[in-house]
Every structure is written in C-alpha cells, then in structure tokens.
Structure 1
C-alpha cells in the first residue's frame, strides 16, 4: 500500500499526517476497480464507505422527475463519500456512477474511526473538507435559482476549468470528455442550450473545442461575463 501514500498526501483530509501515520492508515484502504457505467451506490443507500479515486471519472447525481441532475464530477485524486465517516447510519444523498473504468480506494467508517481516535487532528481536516463541499453546494444552488441558462452554462464550464483544468498546447484544457447532455445536466438545462452557448463562446474566441475537449483560450474574458456580485 506504499503506492497509496503519495495519493493520500494530496487529499486535504490527510495532508497533516506524518509519513508514519500515512503508512499506518494506508493498509486500511481496499483497492477496487469499477467498469464504466457501474453504479457505486444509489441515493438512499446506507453509507459507511469513503472513496478515493486513483484513476477514472465518477459522476454524482440525483434524479428529479425523471431528469438527471449532475451535482459533481470527480476524477484522479478526488474523494467523495466523506460524510459517511462522520456519522453512523447516514444514507447517501445522491447516486455515484463511473463514467469510465475507475480504480478507487475505499475506507470503511469502522476502520477510520479507530484511527481517528488516535489522530484527532483528522477531525478538523474532515470538518474543513465538508465545509468546502457545503460552500460549493450553496454556490450551485444560487446559480440554479438566480442565473439564466446562458450564465449557468458559462459558470459550469468555468468551474470545470478550475477543478479539472490542465495546461496543454499553451491553453487551459478541461481534462475530461463530456457530452453536451452531461454539461446540460450539470447546468440544469437542455442539450440544445449548451450547444448554442458553446458555439457563441467559440465565436468570441473564449474557448476552442478539439476532439470533444474544451480549451479555455481566455479565462479572464470568461469571468468578465459573470454577473456583478450582489452586495
């Protein structure tokens, strides 16, 4: 499990642990491989596992009146299911599904809790991680409630660039192949609207799309499209 340690060092929850502490917690994780399209858990399932992605992509979503709403996309180095580490008996608030073959490390609550008792500084980091997730969720709720469709789509593209962007060919590339329908599910709209807005952004030379990958040519120009902050 030593290969897991570099991955753990980049996870906010575990970043304060010493090498010895990381070597102690690493064996508690179980490595699992999920094929593309595998449901890892359903909304409403009893949750007692934490998930850390070594490779692959996972979408977190809910079904609202037969319509899929994507709440988050996670890939290499990301984690999810952290709420299950805090309280026993919680049910999953959304469904998790792989978008490609994924290698994921899992940690059950009972194993983590014993380690937590010996390493209380983990509690603060776990709280901070949950507060950051809550902040992002509140921002998404605000966007879906108060922003028009065009602005929601632009903010989704911007958020994906911030969370999953890598430098390639001198520009910021969203390191994730997503269909227009998946982008629509992230923005709470329909595929046709996404296609229209992406075309407009290309015409304004703010983005470029090559082989289904989105490149951000001018991140600052994109941010200038945002509505002014409310006082």
Structure 2
C-alpha cells in the first residue's frame, strides 16, 4: 500500500513514516463503476486520493444536462475545495470504472495540512492549476472552433495520462463519446465528425477503453 501512496504527487515529499501515518488514519475503499461519491451542492465531509481507476467530476443544469469538468486518475486527489471554504460541493463525482480511493475526513485532512507544509503547498498548487485550466477552457470556448477544441482536448488527455512508444501515445480512456464531447464543449455530432476525420488521416486509433495518437501524422 505504501508504494501506491508514493505514486501520489501530493505526497511526493513525505517519508515512509509519514506515509504509514496517512494509511493508518485514512479509509481505503474500492468502489464499483458508475457509483456516485458525492453530489453537487452537498456539504463536503471527505477528501479523496485515487489509488487506482478513474473518476469524473461533473455538474448538471436545471434541465438535467450534464457537463464533465475534469477526469481524475490514479495518483491524483480531489474534494478539498468545500473542506477548505466550508461551502457545498461545486460538482458531483462518479466512478468511471472500478476505483480504489483513500478517504480522509475533514478533520484528518485539516490536521495533515497543519502538520505537513508540503501537503498544503501541493493543495495550493493543485487549486492554482485548476483555476488556470478553467480560465483556459473559458478562453477556448470563446475563441476556438469545435474541431480545434476536440483536438486540443484529446492532446491534453494524452499529455496527462498517455504512455508513449515511439510516435504513438496510448491513452486509457473510460469516458464515453457523450462525456468526451462535454469536456471539449461540443455537441456529440461535432465530436464524431472530428474523430472520423482524425481516424481517416491515421492520427487517431480508437479501441476498447483506449485511444492512440500518432504524433507523426498529427504533425503532418
């Protein structure tokens, strides 16, 4: 278990004794695909670290339309925002596949932040990253066309989660077409059209829960 924690960027600067302490106070849970961890507008009581699997963070409009905000993979954390400001959850969280998480209560989370500055700094860096990401997404929706947004989103996911082998980057992908379209801020027909074009050019290869980007064809 401690080897799993060493893969979590938030805990990069902690020693084995400190990591063992986190394991003692945290609750480890394996959750089936499609499970809701919390709903938007609920009060936040728990901080999560993903050890394996993936989770989508999303919001819903008054008409029930869903918007995927981000994808959280193994080694990443989420759920700290409402613990820090005491306000309700800003999004809902749902597992995309069987997922194992570590759960820390609000009290445990705040105690860790008080005693480990490296964790506090990591949380602040993650919040800054998400703010920059939100600003960039607003800019993309304002100035980029649908095709460019889809391509940029695929490249961003590849850079974040992909494994490179020569000119090919393989990306494990638990999101479906609807969710990919929501992340890119386009309609499903636009997404399908762009993906068909990229497949015809040999830039993109789709498989089961995976896609591959050919960097050589992408640059061509």
TM-score, normalised via structure 2 length: 0.89
**Residues 146-185 of structure 1: pairs in structure 2 closer than 5 A:** 146-167=143-164, 171-185=168-182
Aligned counterpart for 2:96 among listed residues 90, 96, 99: 99
Change (3 A) 1:221 1:95: same
The aligned residue for residue 127 of structure 2 is 130
C-alpha distance in structure 2 between counterparts of 1:61 and 1:219, whole Å: 33
Partner of 2:73: 75
Are 2:193 and 1:196 aligned? yes
Q: Distance in 1 between matches of 2:73 and 2:216?
A: 22
**Hey, what's the Cα distance between the residues in 2 that align with 1:123 and 1:210?**
39
How many residue pairs get matched?
219
Given candidates 77, 101, 109, the residue that maps to 1:112 is 109
Q: TM-score, normalised by structure 1?
A: 0.85
Unmatched segments (≥5 aa) in structure 1: 225-231
Do 1:149 and 1:189's aligned partners in 2 also have CA atoms closer than 8 Å?
Answer: yes
**2 CA distance for matches of 1:29 and 1:99?**
22
CA RMSD of aligned residues (A): 2.2
- Find the residue that maps to 2:88 and give its secondary structure: coil
